[in-house]
Structure 1
Amino acid sequence: MIKKIIAVAGLAMFSQITNATPISNSASGLASPLSTITFNEHVLAADAAVTNEYSDLGVIFSPNLYYSAQTGFPNIDGNTLTNFTDSGSGPSVFQFSLNFLASQTDAAFAMVSNGSSWDFEALLGGAVVETFSTLVDTSALDFFGFTGISFDEIRVTSSVEDFMILDNLQIGNAVPEPTSMALLGLGLAALVVARRRVKWA
């Protein structure tokens, strides 16, 4: 009985890995995000470096991105983040991370580039848990991210040091710590052990 309960708890945790799905070249990203950051929530100066300005919404950017008003691309409109400055005053950033203040199971964002290859990595505690590479252009299929896996960081890297524009960051469910199924399994196992001790006392 105990082995069965522990197995169920283990399967619940393992299912988070087996259900992992990269979101690549999607037209809409998450089906039902809990929140979407449009970067209109806090209006900054043009070309301002963006790091923790949106931390109250659950995300920090590192090393930094830049604040910019952009239009003319699908799912990209109004205030956005870029890896370059319009004025050329700051260094371009060809690898950056979205660091979430709580572990997530789902997150996606709209991003356009010049038809070049980009790498997307989901990390948890600094360890890569899922990754994919794809071409990123200016089509309407411009949402990228991860779903069905626990992570607290998405790292994005340009394979050829290209430019990009990012908008509409969708955030799904935060991960309960620890998962409720694991707690249930451990609780039931403890109950069975306690009852057996009483029975044989």
Structure 2
Amino acid sequence: MGNFPFPGSSTINSPWSILFSLDISAAAFGIVTHPSSTLIEVLQDGVVVGSAAAATDADGADFFQIAGFIFDEIRITTTNTATNTQNDPGALLDNLQFSVAVPEPASLALLSLGLLGLIASRRK
């Protein structure tokens, strides 16, 4: 990996978000930054439902996995901790993988119960 070759070329507005059009139940990705403190938050309808912070840098990809939440946004905030002022708070994200949330079993049970009721009412 190494240092980013062009100071200023990887500048990002922090925080930044990845938005999903469907509810997501799990995600994983690798992130490379200048020496930073990185906060990763998962949100559902704009409300934070989970978060984690970690030190990240350009020496190797830091991999994150998010599970156990239903969410539609991942928000990433990087805070430059480098003593070299030429290092911008940049970030590279790669290998984003995610899983769409599976409907709850209770919803399926209610749908099945409704269909049984409809069938029973048609027999009368």
The TM-score normalised by the length of structure 2 is 0.68
2:45 alignment counterpart: 125
The 4+ residue runs of structure 1 with deviation greater than 3 A are 86-92, 184-191
Aligned-partner SS, 2:100:
coil
Structure 2 residues without counterparts, runs of 5 or longer: 81-87, 118-124
Matched residue type, 1:125: D
Residue correspondence of structure 1 range 1-201 to structure 2 within 5 A: 72=1, 88=8, 92-140=12-60, 142-160=62-80, 162-171=89-98, 173-176=99-102, 179-186=103-110
For residue 13 of structure 2, give the secondary structure of its aligned residue in structure 1.
coil
Change (3 A) 1:89 1:162: closer
For 1:157 and 1:132, locate their aligned partners in 2 and report how far apart those are by CA, in whole Å: 11
CA distance in 1, matches of 2:104, 2:60: 38
Q: 1:88 to 1:188 in 2, by over 3 A?
A: closer
Gapped runs of 5+ residues in structure 1? 1-71, 74-85, 195-201
- The percentage of counterpart residues that share the same residue type is 33
Mapped partners of 1:140, 1:158: distance in 2: 16
Kept in 1, the 8 Å contact 2:10–2:90? The answer is no
8 Å CA contact 1:103–1:150 kept in 2: the answer is yes
Q: Please name the residue that 2:85 is paired with.
A: none
Flag the structure with more relative contact order, 1 or 2, with Cα contacts below 8 A and sequence separation at least 6: 2
DSSP-derived class of the 1:159 partner? strand
Tell me the TM-score normalized by structure 1: 0.44
Higher helix content, 1 or 2: 1
Indicate how the Cα distance of structure 1 residues 159 and 168 shifts in structure 2: closer, same or farther if over 3 A, else same.
Answer: same
